[in-house]
Structure 1
Amino acid sequence: MLMFCPTCANVLVVEEGSNCYRFACNTCPYVQNVTRKISNKKYPKLKEVDDVLGGTAAWENVDSTEVTCPKCEHNRAYFMQIQTRSADEPMTTFYKCCSADCGHRWRE
């Protein structure tokens, strides 16, 4: 937390005085003793993160293939391919288990 000088509006620095700490201004003779702990916390508001794959709507019209789910070992999964890296690298395949109880997602 920054403290400002009430006389000249410059930032006050903390210096050690006689038996205590104090705020002092480097440009004028203003000095204020610190008599209690001063703290102030501000947490920034985080942005909402968008689902990169388009959320649940992205999985509505996709095909399924025979692949084993690593979580429940079901033998079918929905899949979609997205170019996540540069054009000279292969597309990334995303899978979602077809089992209604599982719904596990993974990529290859």
Structure 2
Amino acid sequence: MDVFKAKPGFCPECGSIFPPLPMKGNVVCYNCKKDFDPEVFGDMKIKYTIHFNTYVPKEKDAKVKEEQDVADGPVVERKCPKCGHDKMSYATLQLRSADEGQTVFFTCLKCKFKESENS
């Protein structure tokens, strides 16, 4: 008779966590030393979600590659104060003490204007 309403992976007799399921044979509880069929683990399926890169049409692909070639780092949507272009690349450095934020350096992809921001 089961004493506990155990979840998969736990002993229905004493409630202890089971050792890893062996490649073959039964599983033996560390605590109460009872022997159980592998079915005691129940349905322990794992669900994975895989995220792929988004599709970039060929006409946009050339523009994206061109921007990446000229960029000094990752590209963000940020308006350049000098020329008004809406894309800038950035890089970060820890220039101040460790308990203060980092410094972010932005570079315009069009006119190469550089600015910094303390975060």
TM interval, short-chain normalised: 0.3 to 0.5
TM-score scaled to structure 1, two decimals?
A: 0.42
TM-score scaled to structure 2, two decimals?
A: 0.38
